[in-house]
Amino acid sequence: MKIEIFELERTLSLWENRVKYNLTESGIHPFTLNEVLSQDEIKELFSIRLGYGQSNGSEELRDAISQLYPGTDMDNVLVTNGSAEANFLAIWTYLEPEDELIYMLPNYMQIWGIARSFGINVKSFHLREELNWGPDLEQLKSLISPRTKMIAVCNPNNPTGAVLSEEEMNEIIRLAEQTDAWIYADEVYRGAEYEGKETPSFLGKYEKAIVCCGLSKAYALPGLRIGWLVGPKKSMEKAWAYHDYTSIGSGIISNRIATLVLRPEPRNKILNRNRRILIENLAAFQEWIGKHNSLFELIPPRGGGIVFPRYNVEINSTELATKLREEKSVYIAAGDLFGMDHYLRIGIGTEKDYFLTGLSLIDETLEEIKRG
Ligand SMILES: Cc1ncc(COP(=O)(O)O)c(C=O)c1O
């Protein structure tokens, strides 16, 4: 089977660990075990037998996840290896070749690439900068057809940080209902909002909603590789059978750690620490762009760990990103990776000093470009 290269993830794989300053990290500075568990809890991990564990996720973990979604229980949950596997399974399980998928853009392009490789007809509706990165619902409406089997969104959105309003969510649901389509929501940034109020989930709002989430982003624990799907029980059973063909199950130790961190107290501590980092770094970033007059335009993100500013310098985004990487060892993702030249994806979840040093190196390059 032919695939299109997942350009964003490919360039990350190539460069993120080879540069001094990775300023496009889409997550938040990761925790160590010592920071999230007690010594007793850590000690207990040493006595876990390293068997396979329950392949759809341990009962205790599925139970803990289901508590985050009112009206569900553990049978509504499938635990996966990262939300990346959840996304893969969702497309593979619920869509057939030639079905139509309507996909929110810009976006983390994983679903786009997988769906196209499976022969699914992918159409896209856009978040518009002129709507403060709100969705173009007229465009979505014009794309819906009897062949539409799924509308897929990323909310909060990677890369813009936009969050759908309740009205926008309801309108997307109304349009999906018309053609009995699934709504698939990648909600991996849920919990990383700047204003405190957690983004509402599509789950529970619509019968045919399936959501994906995980511990990599809002929880700053990507090394655990824990993600999940939540949806109607029958659909979870179906995806579990597909999961037998991908990774069988997720790691037994990660399942235990995930259960522990999802208890209300550690969960709140984790989300609060992460929000603190994001709020501080967003303020620092806004101060930084304020010093550059009209060089950058930014619609401030409402959730997630990323900013997606537009820049007004005559240089292509890939060229600029390459220059920064080669000359300053600073890595940022070019807007080109999202089909949007003259934008940059900058991660703001890293440690502040590291972030500020990276930004000052970008300053040097911008000065050089301006001087010609
Ligand atoms: C929107 C979104 N979904 C899913 C993923 C995959 O994350 P993971 O597999 O680490 O949970 C990413 C990673 O960047 C992402 O940004």
Q: 3-state SS string over 95-140?
A: CCCCCEEEEEECCCCHHHHHHHHCCCEEEEEEEEHHHCCEECHHHH
Q: What is the dihedral of CA 160, 214, 42, 272, to 10 degrees?
A: 40
| CATH number belonging to domain 48-266 | 3.40.640.10
Ligand 1 neighbourhood includes 80 CB (under 6 angstroms): no
Give the global pTM: 0.97
Going by alpha carbons, the residue nearest to atom 14 of ligand 1 is 26
Q: Dump pLDDT digits (tens) for 281-290.
A: 999 999 999 9
pLDDT exceeds 80 at position 47: yes
What's the CA gap between 259 and 256, in Å, rounded?
A: 5
- The mean pLDDT value for 334-359 works out to 95
Going by alpha carbons, the residue nearest to atom 6 of ligand 1 is 84
Atom of ligand 1 nearest to the CA of 222: 10
| 81 within 8 A of 225, measured Cβ to Cβ | yes
Q: How far is the CA of 82 from the centre of ligand 1 (A)?
A: 7
- pLDDT averaged over every residue in the chain: 96
Listed in sequence order, the residues at least 6 apart from 370 whose beta carbon sits closer than 8 Å to its beta carbon are 313
- The mean pLDDT value for 313-329 works out to 95
- Position 24 confidence tier, pLDDT thresholds 50, 70, 90: very high
Ligand 1 neighbourhood includes 151 CB (under 6 angstroms): no
Report pLDDT for 21: 96
Ligand 1 neighbourhood includes 161 CB (under 6 angstroms): no
Classify domain 7-31+268-371 at the CATH superfamily level: Aspartate Aminotransferase, domain 1 (3.90.1150.10)
- State the DSSP code for 203: B
Q: Dump pLDDT digits (tens) for 205-252.
A: 999 999 999 999 999 999 999 999 999 999 999 999 999 999 999 999
Residue 34's SS3 state is: helix
Ligand 1 neighbourhood includes 162 CB (under 6 angstroms): no
Atom of ligand 1 nearest to the CA of 154: 1
- The mean pLDDT value for 110-131 works out to 97
Q: How far is the CA of 130 from the centre of ligand 1 (A)?
A: 26
| 30 within 8 A of 220, measured Cβ to Cβ | yes
What's the CA gap between 12 and 255, in Å, rounded?
A: 26
Atom of ligand 1 nearest to the CA of 158: 1
Residue from 24, 110, 189, 226 to probe ligand 1 pocket by mutation (most atoms less than 8 Å from CB): 110
- The mean pLDDT value for 64-89 works out to 98
Q: Dump pLDDT digits (tens) for 252-287.
A: 999 999 999 999 999 999 999 999 999 999 999 999
- State the DSSP code for 263: S
Q: Where in the chain is the domain with CATH 3.40.640.10?
A: 48-266
- Position 96 confidence tier, pLDDT thresholds 50, 70, 90: very high
pLDDT exceeds 80 at position 196: no
pLDDT exceeds 80 at position 372: no
pLDDT exceeds 90 at position 115: yes
The percentage of residues in the chain with a pLDDT greater than 70, rounded to a whole number, is 100
CA 137 distance to own-chain centroid: 22
Residue from 80, 83, 307 to probe ligand 1 pocket by mutation (most atoms less than 8 Å from CB): 83
Residue from 88, 216, 219 to probe ligand 1 pocket by mutation (most atoms less than 8 Å from CB): 216
Q: Where in the chain is the domain with CATH 3.90.1150.10?
A: 7-31+268-371
Ligand 1 neighbourhood includes 84 CB (under 6 angstroms): yes
**Do strands 121-128 and 134-135 pair parallel, antiparallel, or not at all (unpaired)?**
antiparallel
What's the CA gap between 106 and 133, in Å, rounded?
A: 10
- Position 366 confidence tier, pLDDT thresholds 50, 70, 90: confident
Q: How far is the CA of 114 from the centre of ligand 1 (A)?
A: 14
Ligand 1 neighbourhood includes 249 CB (under 6 angstroms): no
pLDDT exceeds 90 at position 1: no
CA 214 distance to own-chain centroid: 9
Count Cβ atoms within 10 A of the Cβ of residue 278 and give its class: 0-12 exposed, 13-18 middle, 19 or more buried: buried
